[in-house]
Chain A
């Protein structure tokens, strides 16, 4: 079974629209990472959340970690073509060096 579930698996939105990607864990998270992957390239770190209720923003991307530290959401405001790619959440579930990744959400932006 997948320990970290991402939804939706894929998303197609019109440029300028807002969107949300969710990441749900079966276990309490000690750290939650968001990465972006452009097609055919490596992963780029976006942000990391640790505390329950924590929220971070970078440009038009905001990520939150719920109070129970089992769910995170990534919100993009006024989406642009540059936001297209695969978004992956990764979780530290054991307070060690391992990050368990979700399967990713493929985001397409329509002009």
Chain B
């Protein structure tokens, strides 16, 4: 069974360019999370969806960041325009169900996309 799939694995772009990161969650999972990891700030939650609906986007740093989940099997995180300080590893994670239904909520992580903005 395939895990969470992210693409691309590596992205190098120039400042000002648009960047789109893609995620395919595990089939049947209802919740999807986007994280950003840097040495300075660690692993930060950017936004999460439940049943394709954005629930909490308080971690999205600026209006330059946007995320969509058009269906249960696909999500995108877009940065427009990109800046050097956006350089980080971006992770997507999915979980089987909402915490509100069951007592806990194990998240399954993808391999990440390493973004470098020059």
Contact = CB atoms under 8 A, between A and B. Distances in A.
Given A96-B100, A97-B50, A97-B99, A42 B42 contact: no
A102 B41 CA distance: 9
Interface string B86-118: 000001010100111001111111111000000
B56 interface: yes
Given A33-B106, A42-B111, A48-B106, A97 B95 contact: yes
Interface residues of B, number: 28
Contacts, number: 64
A58 interface: no
Contacts of A101: 42-45
Contact of A41 (B45, B107, B112): B112
B104 A104 contact: no
Interface in A68-111: 88, 92, 95-104
Interface residues on A, range: 20 to 34
Interface in B6-61: 31, 33, 41-45, 48, 50, 55-56
Contacts of B50: 97
Nearest to B111: A42
Interface of A: 31, 33, 35, 41-45, 48, 50, 88, 92, 95-104
